[in-house]
A = this chain, B = another copy of it.
């Protein structure tokens, strides 16, 4: 159930049985020499939408540009400043809370989003917390990284062990290939497994990770693995979502 494919009377009806909504979030940033710039948004959206189908939950439009300042030394990468992202999340949540939505489940495909979205949730809660008696509707937000679920972790350990890394991973690349089989692309990478390490701004990142990958060998990706990972993520998140929805707003 995609929000953008509903009419308003259908949403009105939906709200009588559920006040939960899934919001896929991702990023638009380099993913190594072979990975798609949209990898994180594609993954967040693919998992979030299938989760919506599986659990019969409404799915809001994907937030496709996230916080990715550290990737800006690679062409095509985009970022929102954290302060902008806070405003965006606040407006998204306030809009939907106005209609009675109370449970916001963000399915995330990008590590760099975790802190700013968490800060955004606190910014939203703070408006209620700072008032002794608030006239704002109660809302509850949760962010889950699709790639952090138990079964997903198991599969990537099984398949990629020391070559999974943390950026342009074979797992996320596999998932994008499952969604876009025409995107399959392998090339000689030097070194095969990219270096690991930390980073600060874009110049620092590119200095440390010259082709954009961190600790990964995306050549190990496969459509089949992508399909397994996709199903695993949805299954895990479906359980988590059910628990989340059971919590009071």
A61 touches B69 (CB 8 A): no
**B residues in contact with A15, CB < 8 Å:** 75
User: Which residues of A1-33 are within 8 A (CB) of B?
Assistant: 2-12, 15, 28, 30-33
Number of interface residues of A (CB under 8 A): 93
User: Which residues of A124-165 are within 8 A (CB) of B?
Assistant: 125-126, 128-133, 135, 137-141
Check if A79 is an interface residue, CB within 8 A of chain B. Answer: yes
**How far apart are the CA atoms of A116 and B114 in the complex, in Å?**
10
What 1/0 mask marks residues of chain A from 33 to 55 whose CB sits below 8 Å from any chain B CB? 11111100110000000000000
Check if A233 is an interface residue, CB within 8 A of chain B. Answer: no
B84 touches A98 (CB 8 A): no
B5 touches A83 (CB 8 A): no
**How far apart are the CA atoms of A78 and B133 in the complex, in Å?**
17
Choice from B75, B129, B180 contacting A73 with Cβ under 8 Å: B129
